[in-house]
Copies of this chain bind each other. A is one copy, B any other.
């Protein structure tokens, strides 16, 4: 069974890859360079795959880094692509909306579908999850279903399905699954800032800290000292809400 999946370099898509490998899929992986401010996630995606190959040497069929920066020039808007500041603190409806990159996920999934047809894979897996529901409409089940239908109707001779196995799961549940699957989270990057180390204060850092805390676990990406600081920041910001 062949599948295509998108690996951003973050914790969710990394967990999705292990979910697929655990199920025995042969996986074609795409990572996109869209001029994101946090380009570091691409380097992490490469390291993550290298590490994963050691455990699943036969199931990683390809990992391509695809440069779509000319497209990003067209659609650039939103905090992830340099025009605005990445919001710090827990997301509010307003600040999370600032991180939307117009139609990004549909663009990436459409490319993944073309690639699936090329390599003869019948499924494209998408790491959308419930914690993003409220603000990112393209992380909702309704969108996934509609896109799956469009993909089917547009490619009748070479059918491909879009599946989003985490669509009903929270970030806490995803990390729980990933810890069971021994996902090497030390090779994942979530922070939206492009700095040397995670800022620990942006909405995405806070969500990540929370997911590991709820699992009574530590984020292996961080040193002991950083983790202490992350937990301290998390509780402080939590009180401020």
Q: Which residues of A contact B (CB under 8 A)?
A: 30, 64, 66-68, 70-71, 74-77, 97, 100-107, 109-111, 113-115, 117-118, 137-138, 140, 142-143, 146-147, 149-158
Contact = CB atoms under 8 A, between A and B. Distances in A.
Given A67-B70, A102-B155, A138-B155, A114 B150 contact: no
A85 to B, nearest CB: 19
B114 A103 contact: yes
Contacts of A156: 137
List the 5 closest pairs (A to B, CB-CB), nearest first: A102-B117, A75-B114, A103-B114, A146-B150, A138-B154
B75 A64 contact: no
Contact of A76 (B104, B118, B138, B152): B118
Contacts of A71: 66, 68, 111, 114
Contacts of A75: 111, 114-115, 117-118
B70 A74 contact: no
